[in-house]
Structures are given as structure tokens and as C-alpha cells.
Amino acid sequence: MSDPLARIADALDRINPPPPPAADPAGHPAYVWREGALVAARAFAPLPLDLLTGIEAQKAALLENSRRLAAGHAAHDALLWGSRGAGKSALVKACVGSLCEEGADIALIEVAGDALHGLPRLFDLIATVPRAFILFLDDLGFAEESEAPRLLRSLLEGGAEARPDNARLYVTANRRHIVSRDLKEQDSPINPRDVIDDRLALADRFGLSLGFHVCDQATYVAMVTRYAERFRLGTIDEKDAIAWATQRGSRSGRVAWQYVVELAGRRGMRV
């Protein structure tokens, strides 16, 4: 018969498991900041930069900024904002992948929006590591009562625990100023203008702000064609590709990729 104390200890471990083992911050191209520990990403396979179509100016700007960071030069924190599925997240990952292929010592650290309070600890962990880091906050949004905007603003610039010189924050959001459309504060004593000013003050902390917009039909077809060529799927039926986007009510890089996955599946192939 097993020891009752051992069974109790096992049950407690299942309820409150120990934090994951920390990964070597100099040993992997990508990480996830999880439960106060740096965990190596299981599979970091960003798309090649040349596959991202219709965002040439954004690619050039973010790649150059990231290359400066990797070289130890002055670089900006970046806000990538705009339409869903337009390639914001894919571009961040692709820039890191491209620089790693060039031989640059740079890594991506993905940070969940609800883990902002743990960033000072992460900063301490990576500040003395001799490599560059991009801290990636994807699809950022805030509840109206959240203190997160002020915390992030402090971390970006001017706070006692501002991010170290070898790290920059890359944030994606659907709206340029990260302002909610529904200001609940209008029903409270707080002036709604103050709330908006708070969000604008946060957006202003990003030295690089890149907009991503809904693409036109020709650009969408070009995206599908580029993917099909890369994965050797043969010729595409433009009308079928356009019908796919029409059914989804959107033209974007994400929809183009989904169509290519569908096309590969129809033809018994993989991408």
C-alpha cells in the first residue's frame, strides 16, 4: 500500500505543478515566457520572408530595425497594427528566422499579454546574455480596468525597470492606438478622455509603428500564387481562390495560406 503522504504530495503537484525547467537563454532561436520561466519553443518554423507578399515596406522596415538590434546598434520598439490576418505575427517571426539564417545571434521570446507583470524578472534574466532578444506580445488588448497599459508604458520607456539594451518589444494589435471601442469608463467618474490619452501615450512609446491593411484582389491572388509556387502545387484557379476569400469575407495573407492548405489537401500533398 502506498504512503498516504506521498499520495497527498502527488495530488498537490497535479493541482499546482512546479514551473517548467528553464531553458538556456543562449541556446535556442525562440522561447515562450511561461510561469516565470524561459521555455524553448517546441517548433520554431517561421515562413521565409520572401513568401510574405504585399507588405514590402513593412518587411524592409522591421527587418532593418531587427538587424540593428542584432548588431548591438540603436533600435526601436515596434508596434504592428491593423487588419486581422494581414501578416503582422508572421512578419515578426520571419524577421527573426531570416536573421538567424544570416548568422545573427538573436532570439524571439513570446510573452502572453497577461504575463506583463513578470517582465521585470525576464529582463533580469536576459540583460547580461550576450545576444539580442525580441520580446513578442501578440494580439495585445486590454480590459478597460486593466493597469497593464501603464505597466507596459513604464517598461518601454522611463521606468525603473525598463527593458535592457539587448531587448526590444514587438507588439501586434488590431488598432493603431490600442484603444478599446467600448469605453466602459463613460459610466464611471473617470473622464473617458483620460482613458484614451493613456492608450495614446502607450502607442507613442513605440519608435516604429507599422500599419497593415486589407489587401486588394490582385495582391491576394499574388499571395496564393507565391505559396503555390514555393510548395510546387502546380497552377491555381484564380476564380476558385477568389471564391474561397469571398466565402470568408476577407482577403488577407492568412486567408491565402488557408486556401493553399486546402489546395494541397485536395491534391494529396503537404505544405
Number of C-beta neighbours around residue 255 at 10 A: 23
Global pTM exceeds 0.75:
yes
Given this model, what pLDDT does residue 92 score?
Answer: 97
Q: In the chain, what percentage of residues exceed pLDDT 70?
A: 78
Q: What is the pLDDT of residues 141-158, one digit of tens each?
A: 665 556 667 777 777 775
| Pair 69, 203 in one domain | yes
| Residue 11, in any domain of the structure | no
| Pair 88, 221 in one domain | no
Name, of 19-28, 59-68, 165-174, 233-242, the range with top average pLDDT. Answer: 59-68
Last residue of one domain, picked from the residues 197, 212, 227: 212
| Long-range CB contact pairs, 152-161, < 8 A, 24+ | 152/116, 152/202, 153/201, 153/202, 153/205, 155/116, 155/119, 155/120, 155/123, 156/77, 156/202, 156/205, 156/206, 157/205, 161/119, 161/120, 161/123
Name, of 19-23, 136-140, 153-157, the range with top average pLDDT. Answer: 136-140
| Pair 179, 226 in one domain | no
Domain that holds residue 172: 30-212
